[in-house]
Structure 1
């Protein structure tokens, strides 16, 4: 039972992250909205394992070999871990009868990660307060994380077909 829930968390997290990335790609193509460069996430992570957690800004920090691949891998691993946390709370019952609102609420809750960890670490400040347009950055983050929540819901429906 636990192994099956872990397997489903991997599938749901991967599916939700793909859904989020497809939405970001559509926003880029249709609205010219730039999304996060995951190479910078990889750069931040590589520097973090060496003890440097704060950059001002991350683009001024030394590039790291493989940072793009590391950033994308971390992005998908984070999606899987978020899905596992979500399913640890709501469990098999939610997977059997997925509802949108809990998934969207969880997606909004995941904003804590970029607002309190990643954005301060890459030099954008808490909740993007050091960016040129903080409210715009916050709204983009909210839309992205709500899309992740919607992706959890869509993925759960897809899992029901297995």
Structure 2
């Protein structure tokens, strides 16, 4: 199990880091805003106090000390968790000879975590239904998770080549 956890950390870090590079590229080339990690941190910090949903929107909730650091940390913890799911389903055999299909499937399925847990919790509705441009937000969610999947696949390829 220790080997699985170690690989999940490496693969999850790789996938999440590529997603961050992707977001930075979109920001620098198209002016797309970067993800609001401070608000994600605020949401996660509210969970232990029973605050799952911010009906008025997370930005109207009071800031939490360290919310930006919490948001960044949880971003990577979630990425590692998704990589662990990938390894628990497909096993170390997948990590030894990775293929893109399982990573893509996990990446696409995990879009649902954002659409049905995080985004309603932030107050932007199911699948960003209350966002200014829900279609664009949904497309960015799907593309971002495909990039995350590609990052997991590439990280697995890298670590099996070493």
TM-score (norm 2): 0.96
The aligned residue for residue 69 of structure 1 is 69
Asked whether 1:82 is paired with 2:48, we answer: no
Q: How does 1:10-159 map to 2 (within 5 A)?
A: 10-55=9-54, 56-159=56-159
* 1:70-111 superposed Cα distances (whole Å, 9 cap, x missing partner): 010000000011100111011111112111122112101101
CA distance in 1: counterparts of 2:4 and 2:49, whole angstroms: 34
CA distance in 2: counterparts of 1:12 and 1:128, whole angstroms: 28
State the secondary structure of the residue aligned to 1:160: helix
State the secondary structure of the residue aligned to 2:161: coil
Unaligned stretches of 5+ residues in structure 1: none
State the secondary structure of the residue aligned to 1:64: coil
Superposition RMSD on alpha carbons, in Å?
1.0
Unaligned stretches of 5+ residues in structure 2: none
TM-score (norm 1): 0.96
Shift of 1:34: 1.5
- Which 4+ runs in 1 deviate beyond 3 A? none
